[in-house]
């Protein structure tokens, strides 16, 4: 299943000057860490009562009190939990790598499957999910060829097998956008006029119009980002907050434009010799026109690979693919 790399050539847009800078001005303020009894809290969401919910590599779903850092185990997934959505009623939607989208109704209860296949094809890499008030869910599939454990294979191959999918309350499933480059974070507009999906492998955020004169059409909220966008969330400030997992990698950008043999060779190398994401802690916030309102970055010494961010009344909560903690910061 997709283990033989079939590289597609792509010439990325020329990286902006910002892509090469390790810090922002102002910098991302100092981080306070909430240590977890597990590794790699890939996505973070806030519950209505102000707790942080996240999942770790071992399948555990944790509810963390940001005041004192207490972490309570509230559910367990059969695979690696990725993107999540916290509902007003306290229930959770959870993307589980290798399995699909699940729902957790009560703390300590079993996870119920919401969607595990599309047209008979198993969902192998569900990435992020949001829910509308009427029960419609929107979720991304990063890749139909590569599993989460080999996510770098999808980035190197650049074959664009990612999708944005809608499931209505009656269970009807529709693929809204196909051919996405590592579809990742998903955000629904406050007025439900559009849904966004981050394309980690193309340095852009793509928009599907749900209402108005452009209904059913696709455009880009922002293109040529200075790094790779990951999970996204709608802040209490109405902005779209984006975890920037890594800055642009000049070697990777060059390889993507060359014949595929070079990427096949890179994929055959031991992991430590492949192009790797530089360690940084970076988040940005965009308004509904795609204007960057906040660009906050600091050296990734104590916390790096920010895969998610949620903002609430000026406080930022960050998840990561490499750390054993959730980080707390602030909007300067």
Tens digits of residue pLDDT in 269-309:
998 888 788 899 999 999 999 999 999 999 999 999 999 99
The C-alpha torsion from 50 through 47 and 80 to 275, rounded to 10°, is -60
In tens, the pLDDT along 173-200 reads 999 999 999 999 999 999 999 999 999 9
Of all residues in the chain, the percent with pLDDT exceeding 70 is 99
Q: How far is CA 222 from CA 247, 254, 289, 332, in A?
A: 16, 22, 8, 23
Mean pLDDT of 137-150: 97
Q: How far is CA 255 from CA 8, 12, 265, in A?
A: 11, 10, 11
pLDDT of residue 136: 97
Q: How far is CA 80 from CA 102, 188, 278, in A?
A: 12, 24, 23
Q: How far is CA 229 from CA 3, 107, 108, in A?
A: 25, 31, 32
- Per-residue pLDDT at 250 exceeds 90: yes
In tens, the pLDDT along 26-81 reads 999 999 999 999 999 999 999 999 999 999 999 999 999 999 999 999 999 999 99
Q: Band of the pLDDT at 15, cuts 50, 70, 90? A: very high
- Helix 261-268 with 250-257: angle, nearest 10 deg: 130
Q: Could you tell me if 230 and 242 are in contact, meaning their C-beta atoms sit under 8 angstroms apart?
A: yes
Provide the residue ranges of all domains of the chain, joining segments of one domain with +.
21-330
Among the CATH numbers 2.30.40.10, 3.10.20.30, 2.120.10.30, 3.30.1490.190, which is that of 21-330? 2.120.10.30
Q: Running DSSP on this structure, what letter comes out for residue 267?
A: H
Length in residues, the chain: 332
pLDDT of residue 274: 83
- Provide the whole-model pTM: 0.97
Q: How far is CA 218 from CA 137, 197, 205, 252, in A?
A: 18, 11, 11, 27
pLDDT of residue 318: 98
How many angstroms separate the CA atoms of 142 and 163, rounded? Answer: 7
pLDDT of residue 1: 42
């Amino acid at each position: 299943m997709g283990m033989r790399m079939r590289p597609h050539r792509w010439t990325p847009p020329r990286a902006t000057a910002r892509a090469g800078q390790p810090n922002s001005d102002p910098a991302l303020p100092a981080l306070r860490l909430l240590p977890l009894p597990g590794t790699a809290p890939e996505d973070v969401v806030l519950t209505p009562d102000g707790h942080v919910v996240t999942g770790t590599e071992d399948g555990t779903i944790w509810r963390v009190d940001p005041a004192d850092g207490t972490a309570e185990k509230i559910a367990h997934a059969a695979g690696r939990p990725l993107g999540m959505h916290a509902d007003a009623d306290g229930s959770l939607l959870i993307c589980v790598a290798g399995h699909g989208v699940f729902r957790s109704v009560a703390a300590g209860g079993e996870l119920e499957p919401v969607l595990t296949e599309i047209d008979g094809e198993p969902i192998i890499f569900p990435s992020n999910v949001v829910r509308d008030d009427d029960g419609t869910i929107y979720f991304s599939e990063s890749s139909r060829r590569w599993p989460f454990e080999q996510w770098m294979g999808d980035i190197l191959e650049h074959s664009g097998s990612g999708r944005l999918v809608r499931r209505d309350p009656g269970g009807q499933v529709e693929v809204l956008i196909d051919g996405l480059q590592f579809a990742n974070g998903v955000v629904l507009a406050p007025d439900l006029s559009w849904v966004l999906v981050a394309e980690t492998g193309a340095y852009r955020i793509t928009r599907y119009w749900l209402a108005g004169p452009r209904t059913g059409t696709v455009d880009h909220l922002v293109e040529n980002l200075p790094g790779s966008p990951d999970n996204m969330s709608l802040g209490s400030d109405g902005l779209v907050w984006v975890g920037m997992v890594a800055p642009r990698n000049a070697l990777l950008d060059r390889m993507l434009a060359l014949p595929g043999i070079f990427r096949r060779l890179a994929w055959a190398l031991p992991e430590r010799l492949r192009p790797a994401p530089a360690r940084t802690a970076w988040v940005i916030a965009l308004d509904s026109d795609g204007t960057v309102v906040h660009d906050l970055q600091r050296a990734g010494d104590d916390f790096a690979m920010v895969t998610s961010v949620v903002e609430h009344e000026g406080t930022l909560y960050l998840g990561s693919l490499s750390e054993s903690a959730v980080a707390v910061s602030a909007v300067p």
